[in-house]
Chains A and B, each alone.
Chain A
Amino acid sequence: MALQASESAVVAAADTDASAPRRDKLRFLRNGKTLVGLSILGFFVLLAIFGDALAPYDPSARGPNIMASPSWDHPFGTTQTGQDIFSQILVGTRGVLVVGFVAAVLATVLGVLIGVTAGYLGGFGDDALSSLSNIFLVIPGLPLIIIITSFLPETNDLTIAAVIGLTSWAWGARVLRAQTLSLRNRDYVQAARATGESTWRIIVFELLPNLTPVIATGFIGTVIFAVLSNITLAFIGIADISEWNWGTVLFWAQNNQALAQDAWWWFVPAGLCIALLGTSLALINYGIDEFINPRLRNEKADRSVTMRVGFTPVLRDQPGVPAGVAQAGSPARVPAPAPPPGSAPQGTIRKDDQA
Chain B
Amino acid sequence: MRYLIQRLGFYLFTAWAAITINFFIPRLMPGDPVASLITRYAGQLDSKAIDSLRTLFGLDNEESVWQQYLDYWGNLFQGDLGTSFTYFPTGVSEIISQSLPWTLGLMGLTTLLSFLLGTAIGVYAGWKRGSWVDNMLPVTTFLSAIPYFWLGLIAIAVFAVQWSVFPASGGYDNSLVPAFDWPFISSTIYHGTLPALTIVVSAIAGWILGMRNMMVSVSAEDYVLVAQAKGLPERRVMFSYAARNAILPSISNFALSLGFIVGGTLLVEMVFSYPGIGFVLFQGVGAKDYPLMQGVFLIITLAVLAANLVADLIYLLLDPRTRREA
Q: Which residues of A contact B116 (CB under 8 A)?
A: none
Does B213 sit at the interface, judged by CB under 8 A?
Answer: yes
A232 touches B13 (CB 8 A): no
User: From residue B235, how far is it (CB to closest CB) to chain A in Å?
Assistant: 14
Does B257 sit at the interface, judged by CB under 8 A?
Answer: yes
A138 touches B259 (CB 8 A): yes
A271 touches B154 (CB 8 A): yes
Does B1 sit at the interface, judged by CB under 8 A?
Answer: no
User: From residue B135, how far is it (CB to closest CB) to chain A in Å?
Assistant: 8
B146 touches A300 (CB 8 A): no
Does B275 sit at the interface, judged by CB under 8 A?
Answer: no
Interface string of A289-303 (1 = CB under 8 A from B): 100010110111011
Q: Which residues of B contact A195 (CB under 8 A)?
A: none
A296 touches B213 (CB 8 A): yes
Does A41 sit at the interface, judged by CB under 8 A?
Answer: no
Does B157 sit at the interface, judged by CB under 8 A?
Answer: yes
**Contact size class for B?**
35 or more
User: From residue B295, how far is it (CB to closest CB) to chain A in Å?
Assistant: 11
A140 touches B304 (CB 8 A): yes
Interface secondary structure of B, over-half rule = helix
Number of A-B contacts (CB under 8 A): 234
Q: Which of B153, B231, B253, B297 contacts A267 (CB 8 A)?
A: B153
Among B44-52, B80-88, B180-188, B281-289, the stretch that binds chain A is B281-289
User: From residue B318, how far is it (CB to closest CB) to chain A in Å?
Assistant: 11
A141 touches B216 (CB 8 A): no
With A259-B156, A307-B229 as contacts: A140 and B219 at CB distance below 8 Å: no
A1 touches B210 (CB 8 A): yes
Q: Which of A9, A146, A153, A270 contacts B29 (CB 8 A)?
A: A153
A4 touches B259 (CB 8 A): no
User: From residue A193, how far is it (CB to closest CB) to chain B in Å?
Assistant: 32
Whole-angstrom distance between the alpha carbons of A353 and B154 in the complex? 49
A142 touches B249 (CB 8 A): no
B267 touches A271 (CB 8 A): no
A140 touches B130 (CB 8 A): no
Q: Which residue of B lies closest to A286 (CB)?
A: B141
Does A228 sit at the interface, judged by CB under 8 A?
Answer: yes
A237 touches B285 (CB 8 A): yes
With A153-B30, A349-B248, A354-B223 as contacts: A147 and B161 at CB distance below 8 Å: no
With A2-B209, A259-B161 as contacts: A139 and B18 at CB distance below 8 Å: yes
B145 touches A345 (CB 8 A): no
Chain A residues bordering chain B, tally (CB within 8 A): 85
With A150-B293, A259-B161 as contacts: A8 and B141 at CB distance below 8 Å: no
A254 touches B153 (CB 8 A): yes
Does B42 sit at the interface, judged by CB under 8 A?
Answer: no
With A1-B205, A152-B29, A264-B157 as contacts: A345 and B214 at CB distance below 8 Å: yes
B150 touches A274 (CB 8 A): yes
Q: Which residues of B contact A342 (CB under 8 A)?
A: 217, 220-221
A236 touches B305 (CB 8 A): no
Task: Please provide the 5 A-B residue pairs with the shortest distance between their CB atoms, ordered closest to farther.
Answer: A278-B145, A142-B263, A1-B206, A140-B259, A300-B130
**Can you name 21 A-B pairs with beta carbons within 8 Å?**
A4-B206, A4-B213, A5-B210, A134-B14, A138-B255, A139-B21, A139-B301, A140-B262, A142-B260, A151-B290, A153-B31, A259-B153, A262-B157, A277-B145, A295-B216, A298-B129, A329-B220, A329-B225, A349-B218, A351-B222, A354-B223
B-side residues, CB < 8 A to A, are 10-11, 13-14, 17-18, 21-22, 25-26, 29-31, 33, 129-130, 134, 141-142, 144-147, 149-150, 153-154, 156-157, 161-162, 168, 205-206, 209-210, 213-214, 216-223, 225, 228-231, 245, 248-249, 252-253, 255-260, 262-264, 266-267, 270-271, 281-282, 285-286, 288, 290, 293-294, 296-297, 300-301, 304-305, 308, 319, 321
A-side residues, CB < 8 A to B, are 1-2, 4-5, 7-9, 12, 131, 134-135, 137-144, 146-148, 150-153, 171, 224-225, 228, 231-232, 235-238, 250, 253-254, 259-260, 262, 264, 267-268, 270-271, 274-279, 281-283, 286, 289, 293, 295-296, 298-300, 302-303, 306-309, 325, 328-329, 331, 342, 344-346, 348-351, 353-355
